[in-house]
Structure 1
Amino acid sequence: MRKILVVGAGQSGLQLALGLQSHGYEVTLMSNRTADEIRSGRVMSTQCMFHTALQHERDLQINFWESQAPRIEGLGVSVAAPGSFDPGPSQRAIDWVGRLDGYAQSVDQRVKMAGWTETFAQRGGQLVVHGAAVGDLDYFSRAYDLVLVSAGKGELVSMFERDAERSPYSEPQRALAVAYVHGLGPRPEHPEFDAVRCNIVPGVGELFVMPTYTLSGRADILFWEGVPGGPLDAFQGVKDPAEHLALTLDLMKTFLPWEYARATRVELTDAGGTLAGRYAPTVRKPIGRLPGGGLVLGVADVVVANDPITGQGSNSAAKCAAAYLASILERGDQPFDEEWMGQTFDRYWNTARHVTKWTNAMLAPPPEHVLNLLGAAGQLQPVADRFANGFDDPADFENFFFDPAKSEAYLGEVAAAGSAA
């Protein structure tokens, strides 16, 4: 029986630990918090997981909250008209919703990670509740066939060298502010199904509104992404959750009155329902070297940390865990050496590179052909649907999003098909 140490109990670490456990590996999981501490703590993220990522959870039979979480069937985009902040639909230069081929879901990571941690322990896994330093791993690495590092913050990340070629940004590109709320009213457009809403205020930032399942049941996430130094970059130093929510709503009232109109009665889900911060999107080299000569393999956002503007964090973590699990199973009893580690990361990067390219593009001001594409989606439903489904399979953006000629050709095809019909 091969012994594997997983450091970090987030989406990727826990999914990998549970997957390896189900295949008979002897797995030790290091978490810096107990399940109860996770459950009673502050929200850790926004997360909207699309079909492929959800399927990885179903494959391992760890989709425990699927029947309770809202089914998100669409993804809508609104772009505020420049210079006009009067209430009403005239304020939106673009407004549409695309339908997803398979529904998406969001489960508060406090619920999921606490539940998965308990499941791992109940199934006989060794759970070590302890923050890990590089020195600890140096000691542990001698006792394990493989050490996987999936703790995306803190000292351990410094073991993994920044990949400058794949990391165009050295500074944070957005200031992030999250509030989990009860009491949000439905959008008057398409109230019959749940959708994630992406509201773009050009030059200022974005507000995402997504249905979720939290400790107290159904809720919604209000998530501002502000251009640093701009009017949305206002949450630094705000410690009081009530003040955080008031500021969130005040900014909605100013910049996105159509979203504010349904938020006049919201309240925080709980005292831990807010989060603010920022980080620079970074790709790192996948192999970390320990002082004693041992090697560790980085997982998910330890090695590929994208800005959450495209909602890919938990999706990428699930896909990384699935790819690594497959590579470990295929390895059999051969050594998990440096060459294998490199190949295992490359297998994941083959998916992740599309996410990174698309996310970094979305952080920059949109070029004319992308504005044309977003505008056309309001008139041509197939364009809206394809854009929405790109969140599940970002590789598809290569076919119609980045290149102006491909984009123009695609819009021409859809328009011609529409007029022929």
Structure 2
Amino acid sequence: MNSRTITIVGAGQSGLQLGIGLLDAGYSVTLISNRTPDQIRDGSIASSQCMFDQALGHERALGIDLWPDAPPVEGISFTVAPPEAPCVKAMSWSHRLDAPAQSIDQRVKFPALMEVFEARGGKLVIEEAGVEDLERYASASDLVIVAAGKGEIAGLFERDAERSHYAAPQRALALSYVNGMKPRPEYSAVNFNLIPGVGEYFVFPALTVTGPCEIMVFEGLPGSDMDSWKGLSPQEHLENSQRILRTYLPWEADRCTEVELTDPNGILQGRFPPTVRHPLATLPSGKTVLGMADVVVLNDPITGQGSNNAAKCAAAYLSGILEHGDGAFDDTFKQGLFESYWQYARHVADWTNAMLAPPPPHALQVLGAAQENTQIAKRFANGFNYPPDFTQWFMSPEAATGYLDSFQAAR
């Protein structure tokens, strides 16, 4: 048994995964949650959480892949629908993923992983942590990691202006968990639809508290017709979802003629600015705590990377802590732990921020070429599993031109 004690504030994807990994390595771990498992299970949806194979692999390595029979997400579909011609697909293609993805409602996953955490010897504490509580944790623990960025402690982590691309929300976000959607005929997929000047809509299968479902995700440009969610009742929220599909995406609307909400808590709407924060927060006593996952790198959901980032941040932190051995958990170590994750996360942030902007000519050229070339479609689809690959061939005009030219040279 390792004598060192670690406190993790936040029982979400990153906090639970890291906590379980540390327990398996012999550390003494306390996990702070502001909600009980029952409160999470009976509460509102919090995310769309589609996780791809690399992120799922971190769960498999810890033996917390508890839903092998959940609906798989087998591919990626991409369509551009001009708003001035809503019945036309200006661009459309799809490709299978090399390995399936999976979405488990956090109301299902987190209570189950909290049970695993306690069963493996972790201490679960239910309380709303404030600054005074962080001081108490820091006095009693060798290391405090903050994996929950809301409430009083959110303001402790300062925005990193150099690494943050946007200062304001770029999308009005809305989720609907539904039953009764007609399945995609070829294979299950994240169906991604881009409506220039209006927003994006994507949909994929998942497992929720009532069983298999589909998650509808709307990303409306501020001020657009898709920015129309505030103040709606659950039923009005669903009706607005169907209205938007009938207006802009009739092929998606045709799948949704019989849909109904999975439960009264199966909707969510909001907006936030994508933000990178400094990873160390200094408490009034001078002690520091380390942020992780969304606390320090918060991306827009447009690329579906939130839970994937959380899993990969937890894996990076776990690896760094174990490699550090008996070394001091000082500020140099804490900063270095974040930087090891940032080497991956910066590529995700760059790609996500690019997808929020109007697509440049080279991106449209590549996406158009994917209609004719299955190799390009396959590479784009599997980039969701490992976004740093986009840097090699998609993110700059030079890289995209070189990649497309390589196919001409091979002829």
Q: TM-score range by the shorter chain?
A: over 0.9
Aligned counterpart for 2:140 among listed residues 138, 143, 150: 143
Tell me whether 1:301 sits opposite 2:309 in the alignment. no
Aligned counterpart for 1:184 among listed residues 170, 181, 184: 181
Q: Residue in 2 aligned with 1:259? A: 252
Tell me whether 1:217 sits opposite 2:230 in the alignment. no
- In 1, Cα distance between the equivalents of 2:250 and 2:56? 33
Aligned counterpart for 1:195 among listed residues 185, 189, 201: 189
- In 2, Cα distance between the equivalents of 1:123 and 1:394? 33
Q: Residue in 1 aligned with 2:160? A: 163
Deviations 1:213-264 (A, max 9, x none): 11122110000000011111100122x2111111111111111111000100
- In 2, Cα distance between the equivalents of 1:246 and 1:23? 49
Q: Residue in 2 aligned with 1:376? A: 369
- In 1, Cα distance between the equivalents of 2:210 and 2:376? 36
Structure 2 residues without counterparts, runs of 5 or longer: none
Larger CA deviation: 76-85 vs 138-147: 76-85
Letter in 2 for 1:327: G
Alignment of 1:400-411 (within 5 A): 400-411=393-404
Letter in 2 for 1:45: S
Asked if the contact 1:380–1:415 (Cα under 8 Å) also holds between the matched residues in 2, the reply is no
Letter in 2 for 1:206: E
Letter in 1 for 2:386: D
Asked if the contact 1:306–1:313 (Cα under 8 Å) also holds between the matched residues in 2, the reply is yes
Q: Residue in 1 aligned with 2:59? A: 57
Alignment of 1:263-274 (within 5 A): 263-274=256-267
1:377 alignment partner, SS class: helix
Asked if the contact 1:382–1:414 (Cα under 8 Å) also holds between the matched residues in 2, the reply is no
Q: Residue in 2 aligned with 1:234? A: 228
Aligned counterpart for 2:18 among listed residues 16, 19, 23: 16
- In 2, Cα distance between the equivalents of 1:314 and 1:122? 23
Q: Residue in 2 aligned with 1:69? A: 70
Letter in 2 for 1:400: W
Asked if the contact 1:17–1:29 (Cα under 8 Å) also holds between the matched residues in 2, the reply is yes
Q: Residue in 2 aligned with 1:332? A: 325
Asked if the contact 1:42–1:273 (Cα under 8 Å) also holds between the matched residues in 2, the reply is yes
Q: Flag the 1:416–1:259 CA change in 2: closer, same or farther, 3 A.
A: farther
Asked if the contact 1:171–1:280 (Cα under 8 Å) also holds between the matched residues in 2, the reply is yes
1:366 alignment partner, SS class: coil
- In 2, Cα distance between the equivalents of 1:258 and 1:196? 14
1:43 alignment partner, SS class: coil
Asked if the contact 1:351–1:395 (Cα under 8 Å) also holds between the matched residues in 2, the reply is yes
Runs of 4+ in 1 over 4 A off after TM superposition: none
- What is the Cα deviation at residue 152 of structure 1? 2.5
- What is the Cα deviation at residue 415 of structure 1? 4.7
Structure 1 residues without counterparts, runs of 5 or longer: none
Q: Residue in 1 aligned with 2:79? A: 78
- In 1, Cα distance between the equivalents of 2:98 and 2:409? 23
Alignment of 1:249-398 (within 5 A): 249-398=242-391
Scaled by the length of structure 2, what TM-score is found? 0.98
- In 2, Cα distance between the equivalents of 1:406 and 1:304? 26
Letter in 1 for 2:102: Q
* Cα root mean square deviation, aligned: 1.1
- In 1, Cα distance between the equivalents of 2:308 and 2:183? 26
- In 2, Cα distance between the equivalents of 1:185 and 1:380? 28
Scaled by the length of structure 1, what TM-score is found? 0.95
Aligned counterpart for 1:119 among listed residues 86, 91, 116: 116
1:356 alignment partner, SS class: helix
Aligned residues: 409
- In 2, Cα distance between the equivalents of 1:165 and 1:401? 23
Asked if the contact 1:380–1:414 (Cα under 8 Å) also holds between the matched residues in 2, the reply is no
Q: Residue in 1 aligned with 2:202? A: 208
Letter in 2 for 1:197: N
- In 2, Cα distance between the equivalents of 1:392 and 1:268? 29
Asked if the contact 1:148–1:297 (Cα under 8 Å) also holds between the matched residues in 2, the reply is yes
Same amino acid, percent of matched pairs? 55
- In 2, Cα distance between the equivalents of 1:401 and 1:381? 16
